[in-house]
Structure 1
Amino acid sequence: MAGGSAQAATTDVNVFFVVDTSSSIVAEDFGNRSPRLEGVRQDIMAIAGELAGARFSLLTFDSNAVVRMPRTTDTTALDTAVGVLQPQVTTFSKGSSVTAARKLLAERLRAARDSHPERPRLVYYLGDGEQTSAAAPDAIKVDGGLANGGAVLGYGMAEGGRMQENTGQRSGNDGGAGYIQDRTSGSGGDARLVIDEGRLRWIAGQLGVPYVHRSAGDAVAPMMQAADPGELRRAPEGAGLDGRTELYWIFASGAFLLGLREAFLLLRHWRRLPRAQAIPNAQAIPVAQEGTARQAEEART
C-alpha cells in the first residue's frame, strides 16, 4: 500500500487477527526449524506496519477462544501481546477445532459494525489447519458484509515438525522441556504435525478472503492483496455504508464557486461607484477654512 492518501485511509479500518495457539503452532518447520509461531508474530507486525493507524484486535483459540487484546491503535501494545503468545499448556490440551473462534469472531465483527458501520473490517486468520478435535469443524462463515477483506495465512510444511511441550513455565528451547510424543501409534517417538492447506483454503472460502501460504522471508504484498481500504470502499451498490462513495466534496465545491461569484459581483459594483461622491466632502474643508479666516480678519478690523 503506497501513497499518503492510502495510508491515511487506514485510520478508518478495523483489523482482527485470529491466531491458532494450539500445540501445533509451535511445530518446528518454519524457516530454519523455528516454531510456526515465529512466522505468525512476524506477519502480524508486518501487516500492522502496512496498515498504520488502523484499529487492531487480537483473538486466539485452542480449546477455547479468547480476546487477547481489544481494538486499539497502539501497535506497541499489539507487539507486546503478540510477543507473549504461547501455545496451550500441553497437559490441558484435549483437542481443538480450527474454527473454535467462529462465535467470538462474529460477535467482535458485529460489535465493530454496529459501533462504526463506515469502517471496513479486515480478518486475518493465522494457523496451520490442523484439526485435533474428533468432531468435524463447524463452518466459520460470518454474516454477509461483516468481513470486508483480509486473508487466511498458513504456516508449516508437508513433512511437518516436532512440537516442544508447554509446561506452563518459562523453559523456551533450552532443553528444559521435551517434545510432544506420538501416542497414536505403537511406535512412539516425537509427534509431527503437518499443515493442512485444504482445510485452510476451506476456511478462506468461508470468510471470503484469499489463502496465502507463508514461509520465512516471504514478501508482505501477498498478504495485503485484499486489504486496500480504498478498494474496500468501492463496494457494489446496495453493500451498505461500507461501500459508500463520499460526495460531500461536490457540494463544497459548489458553495465555493457561488461565494467566488458573489465576491466578483461585489467588486465590480464597488468599482462602478461614482468617484465624485467623495469629492465634495474633500473640497468642503478648504472652503470652510477660507470662510473662517475672513471672519477672523473682519473681527480684527
Structure 2
Amino acid sequence: MNGFTFSPALGWVAGGLLAGLLAIMAVAEIVLFIRRRRAFASDETVWACVRRTLMLLLAAVMMLTPSQVTTTTSRAVNATDVIVAVDVTGSMAVADAHYGSDDTVTRIDAARQAVHDLTQTYANASFAAIRFGASGTLDVPLTPDSAAIDNWADTLAVESTGVSAGSSLDTPIDQLLLTAKAIREAHPDDAIVLYLISDGEQTSTKTRRTFSSLRRYLDDGFTVGVGSAEGGRIPVITDGANAGNTDSNDSWITDPDTGQPGISKMDAGNLEDIADEISGSYVALDATHTVSDAVSSKVSNDWRVTTTAKERTRVAAVVWPLAIALALLLAFEIGAWITTSRRLL
C-alpha cells in the first residue's frame, strides 16, 4: 500500500524546530503586513506578502521532508552467495571454546556467534544454511534475508547423543554438493563462498570422503575450527533442545576403554586437510580470532535484483515539487526586488 508521510532528513527534533521557526516567520510576515498596511507605513503589496508567506511555508514543509511510502518484494543484492555449514554433533556441546575473548563458551555457542558475524560481514549477500550431525540437512535455502540466517543460528541445537553413531566429517558433502550445484546453475556468475564450522573431530571408523568434489562449484572456502586442543568432557544431551543441557546428574559421555569421561579435542589437522581439499583456508576461533579474520577476497563486485516473499517498506523523499515551486517564487521575488531597485534610482 502506497501513502505519504513525513520523514525529516535532519531528524524530528532538528527538522521540527526549523519547520516551526519558519511557520512562525510566515505568521509574523502576515501580521506585520496587516499592521503596516493599516498604518500606511509600507508599500508592500498583497502579492508580495502572499509570495513571501508561501516561500516560508514551503521551506517549513520541506524541513519535514514529505515522503512516499511504498512496499516492494524486489531487492538489489550483491552477487555473492555464502553457504554456512555448522556441525551439531554431541561434541559441539563441550565448553572449551573462545570467541574473541577469554570467556569460555560451548563450541555451538561459538558457532552461533560466528554465523552472526558472517551475516554482518556479508551484509548484502545471499545465504544458505546447512547443519550436519548424523545427517546433513539444508535448513535455509539460498536467501538474501540475513535475518533468517540469524534466527536459524539462534535455534541451532546439538543433537541428542543418543542418536550419534560417531562423528563423521564427510556427512555434509552430499548436501553441500546439491546446494552448491543448484546455486551455480541458478546464478552462474555469482561468487560462492563456503564456511564449514566444526571441531574437526572424526570418531567414525569409516574413512572420510574427500571434499575436493566441491571445488568445481566454489570460488572460495573456509574451515572454521571451534574448541581447543586440550579439549573437554562431552555432556550427555538427552533432547538436543539446548547445547548446554545435560541430565539432572550432570552425566558425561564415558570412554569405553577407560571407563572415565571421554575427552573431545578439536582436530585442527582434519580441518586443515578439508580446507586444502576445497582450495580454501583454515581459521581457528579463539580468544583473539573471530570469523571476521576469514573474509573472502573473492567477493563479487556485481549486483543483481532478486524477488523475495517478504515485503519491505521503502520511504522515498518527494521534495522536488516543493523545490520547483520555491525556486519560482524566489525568481519572482528577485525580479520584484530588481524592479523596485531601478525605480528608486
Quick check: TM above 0.5? Answer: yes
Work out whether residues 94 and 106 of structure 2, in 8 Å CA contact, stay in contact via their aligned partners in 1. Answer: yes
Aligned counterparts of 1:62 and 1:146: Cα–Cα separation in 2: 23
2:85 equivalent in structure 1: 18
Shift of 1:140: 1.4
Aligned pairs, how many?
Answer: 223
1:100 equivalent in structure 2: 171
1:140-219 map, 5 Å: 140-168=211-239, 170=241, 173=244, 176-177=247-248, 178-186=250-258, 188-219=259-290
Work out whether residues 160 and 193 of structure 1, in 8 Å CA contact, stay in contact via their aligned partners in 2. Answer: yes
Aligned counterparts of 2:246 and 2:206: Cα–Cα separation in 1: 34
Superposed CA deviations along residues 229-252 of structure 1, whole A, max 9, x for unmatched, are 34xx8xxxxxxxxxxxxxxxxxxx
Does residue 137 in structure 1 map to residue 217 in structure 2?
no
Superposed CA deviations along residues 135-176 of structure 1, whole A, max 9, x for unmatched, are 111111125430101311111111101222221165664664
Cα pair distance change 1:85/1:117, threshold 3 Å? same
TM-score w.r.t. the length of structure 1 is: 0.68
Aligned counterparts of 2:299 and 2:91: Cα–Cα separation in 1: 31
1:44 equivalent in structure 2: 115
Percent same amino acid at aligned positions? 25
Cα pair distance change 1:106/1:154, threshold 3 Å? same
Work out whether residues 209 and 226 of structure 1, in 8 Å CA contact, stay in contact via their aligned partners in 2. Answer: no
Answer with 1 or 2: which has the greater Rg.
Answer: 1
Residue identity matched to 2:295: M
Work out whether residues 28 and 161 of structure 1, in 8 Å CA contact, stay in contact via their aligned partners in 2. Answer: yes
Does residue 84 in structure 1 map to residue 84 in structure 2?
no
Residue identity matched to 1:128: D
Aligned counterparts of 2:91 and 2:243: Cα–Cα separation in 1: 16
Cα pair distance change 1:62/1:147, threshold 3 Å? same
Paired residue secondary structure (1:229):
coil
2:138 equivalent in structure 1: 67
Work out whether residues 62 and 100 of structure 1, in 8 Å CA contact, stay in contact via their aligned partners in 2. Answer: yes
User: In proportion to residue count, which structure has more strand?
Assistant: 2
Shift of 1:36: 0.7
Aligned counterparts of 2:213 and 2:76: Cα–Cα separation in 1: 25
Shift of 1:183: 2.6
2:199 equivalent in structure 1: 128
Q: Specify which structure has the bigger relative contact order, considering alpha-carbon pairs within 8 angstroms and separated by 6 or more residues.
A: 2
Aligned counterparts of 1:205 and 1:150: Cα–Cα separation in 2: 9
Cα pair distance change 1:229/1:199, threshold 3 Å? same
Aligned counterparts of 2:246 and 2:159: Cα–Cα separation in 1: 19
Superposed CA deviations along residues 30-54 of structure 1, whole A, max 9, x for unmatched, are 1333211111111111111111121
Cα pair distance change 1:114/1:68, threshold 3 Å? same
Work out whether residues 150 and 224 of structure 1, in 8 Å CA contact, stay in contact via their aligned partners in 2. Answer: no
Paired residue secondary structure (2:139):
strand
TM-score w.r.t. the length of structure 2 is: 0.60
Paired residue secondary structure (2:162):
helix
Paired residue secondary structure (2:213):
coil
Aligned counterparts of 2:262 and 2:281: Cα–Cα separation in 1: 30
RMSD: 2.2
Gaps spanning 5+ residues in structure 2: where?
A: 1-74, 303-345
Cα pair distance change 1:142/1:92, threshold 3 Å? same
Work out whether residues 157 and 240 of structure 2, in 8 Å CA contact, stay in contact via their aligned partners in 1. Answer: no
Gaps spanning 5+ residues in structure 1: where?
A: 1-7, 234-301
Superposed CA deviations along residues 181-211 of structure 1, whole A, max 9, x for unmatched, are 223323x232210011111000001111110
Aligned counterparts of 2:297 and 2:133: Cα–Cα separation in 1: 26
Paired residue secondary structure (2:175):
helix
